[in-house]
Structures are given as C-alpha cells and as structure tokens.
Copies of this chain bind each other. A is one copy, B any other.
Amino acid sequence: VTPPGRAALMSALGPGREFDRVRRIAAALGARAAGLGDDCALLAAGGGTLAASTDVSVEGVHFRLEWLSLEEIGWRAAAAALSDLAAEGAEADAVLIALSVPAAAGDDDVVAVMSGAGAAATEAGARVAGGDLSAGSGWSLAVTALGWVADPVTRAGARAGDGLWVTGRLGAPRAALEAWRRGAVPGEDARRAFARPLPRLHAGRWLARHGARAMIDLSDGLGADAAHVAAASGVAAELELDLVPVAPVAVAEAVRLGVPPEQFAAESGEEYELLVALPAGFAVEDVRAFESVCGLTLTRVGQAGEGGGVHARLGGVPVALSGFDHFASHRR
C-alpha cells in the first residue's frame, strides 16, 4: 500500500474537530507521518500486510462507571480497536492493552477489565499478547489491535455509482446513551449494544472478498463516517435515510426526542457496524449469501455520486446530519 501524499491525506480526513487536529498533526509531522486517517495503519510484511489500529477509551469521556461493569469496559475498548481491523477486511491476530488504573482500584478490578478485553479478543479470534500497566487518575485503556490482510479495503476506494450499504441495524447504542443521559435505565438490547459491541470481522472479510471498494466502521455514526469515506474517496455520499435499518430499541428514544428514527439511527455513534461501498452490480443473491453466512442484515442506504460531502434525504427532504465527537461533551 502506497501511503497517500500529504495533500491527499489532509483532504481525506473529513470534517470535525478531531479531524482538524489530525490534519494539523499531519501537517506538522510531514514526512515523519504516513498513512494517517484510515481505520488502520498498514505495514508491508513479507508478502502480506499488517493492519494495526490503536483506540483509546477514557473514563468520563467514552464511558462512565455507573453505566458499565469493569468487564464491559474492557470488552468495549478491545472491541473498538478490533472493529478497525474489521473495516479493513483483516483477520485479527493479537491485542496489546495499555491500562491506566485509578489508585482506589484493586487487583480484582484490574483483572476484571483485562478479562473483559481478553473475552472480546477471543470472540474475535485474537489473543492478548502484551500490554502495559500504569497508575492513572481514572480508568483509561489504549488497545492496539494487530491483524493481517491480503488486500486491505481502505476508505478511499469508493467510485461514483457504487452502492453504499450498512451491516446490521443502527441506533441501539445511542438509545442506551440517551436513556442514561435522562437518568433512566436503558432496555437490555440497547444496553448490550453499547456495552458489548461485536466487531464485524467475519462480515468485513466476506465483504472484502466480494468486491468491497471502501469500508469504515460506524464509530462516529453513519453521517460522519459517510463523510470520511466521501472525503477519502473523492465522491459524494448520497444517503437515502428512508432506507436506514433502525434497531427496534431506537424507535422509542427517537420519538421521545422528536427526531425521525432513521435520522436518530444515522446520527448514532459508538456503532460497530460497517459502512461499505459495493459496485452497482452487487445483487440480491449476494445480499442473501452475506446474510446467510454472516447472520447479519446488509442494507443499501444510498450511493456514491460525483462531487463531495454527504447529501442525506429523508422523505425527499434534505437533512443535515450531526456526528459524534469525543472532544465535544455535546453533539455537534
């Protein structure tokens, strides 16, 4: 994989405060950085490619102790890093876990977090191969996932005319977050989607083998992640929100907020489903094969077009989608 040039890199990162910062970092690092801005770093490795992704989960930013058990904190953090491998079409091999531990935590607490991370790794076919422990003012985990991929699927390969598809149903993690925010207890389906997300490694590999041109996970939400694909690929992302598959548990929270459920789902971050650009010829029998092999729905939600940016419509009316930004305590 040839690293993109600096100019290409800087226009490929998409919108948002985090991405403004990454752009500034890339400019400052110049030739010292390469390949920033995709889900994974891709390193040539004796005939294959190593896919590596690091993902940080911070108490009070990504989760609260009132919401999750320590095992779930570990699971979520590992799943988030493994999800980036899924979005390259890679096979997971190992995770490394750098864990900062608050002073009040005991050994059982540390073991609980690491057991959760280890369980997520096992579920994804990976093992815990290393890590680092440190004191810290709160819980913080930086998980690095390492995997292997013959032909990585980056964010940059979508072409005008490709269909845009999503795996699974969206909105459940946001339903859990919205319930916690108003002091309620989320339903079990919503809670599980937030607390124990399943990285879509099997689905990502299937899609990579069946023509995927660009892929990304939905950790920033469908609207924001479609913008990343659009920016990296040099296309417009035309989203038909009426087609967005909404998790049943998301509907009630959307109604409560007065937001159409499809928009609620398209703005839900912390999703670990995949957004994938597939050639226009991807057929109904391909969808059936995917759903039968992967045990997940695959739904067309729009197409790539000429131009740039995200153009979302709901019931024929343009909708401006907001995204999910870990630097903002509010939604932008």
Contacts and interface: CB of A to CB of B under 8 A. Distances in A.
A140 to B, nearest CB: 6
Contacts of A138: 137
Given A46-B47, A54-B97, A56-B142, A18 B133 contact: yes
Interface stretch (A22-30, A153-161, A235-243): A22-30
Interface stretch (A106-114, A198-206, A283-291): A106-114
A118 interface: yes
Interface stretch (A120-128, A181-189, A245-253, A262-270): A120-128
Interface string A35-63: 11010111101111010111111101110
B146 A50 contact: yes
A250 B33 CA distance: 36
Contacts of A48: 45-46
Contacts of A55: 98, 132
Interface string A93-108: 1101111110000010
Number of copies: 2
A118 B45 contact: no
A52 B130 CA distance: 8
Interface string A72-85: 00000000000000
Contact of A127 (B34, B46, B56): B34
Interface residues of A, number: 71
Contact of A98 (B21, B22, B31, B56): B56
A20 interface: yes
A94 B93 CA distance: 18
A307 interface: no
Given A52-B129, A135-B61, A110 B24 contact: yes
21 contacts: A25-B114, A28-B114, A31-B127, A32-B128, A34-B129, A36-B130, A43-B146, A45-B45, A45-B148, A47-B47, A52-B144, A52-B146, A54-B96, A54-B130, A54-B142, A56-B100, A58-B136, A61-B100, A62-B134, A134-B327, A142-B142
Interface of A: 18, 20-22, 24-25, 28-29, 31-36, 38, 40-43, 45-48, 50, 52-58, 60-62, 93-94, 96-101, 107, 110-111, 114-115, 118-119, 121-122, 127-138, 140, 142, 144, 146, 148, 326-327, 329
Given A24-B107, A54-B54, 17 more contacts: A21-B133, A28-B111, A28-B115, A29-B118, A32-B122, A33-B128, A36-B128, A41-B129, A43-B129, A45-B45, A53-B130, A54-B96, A56-B100, A58-B100, A58-B137, A98-B144, A136-B140
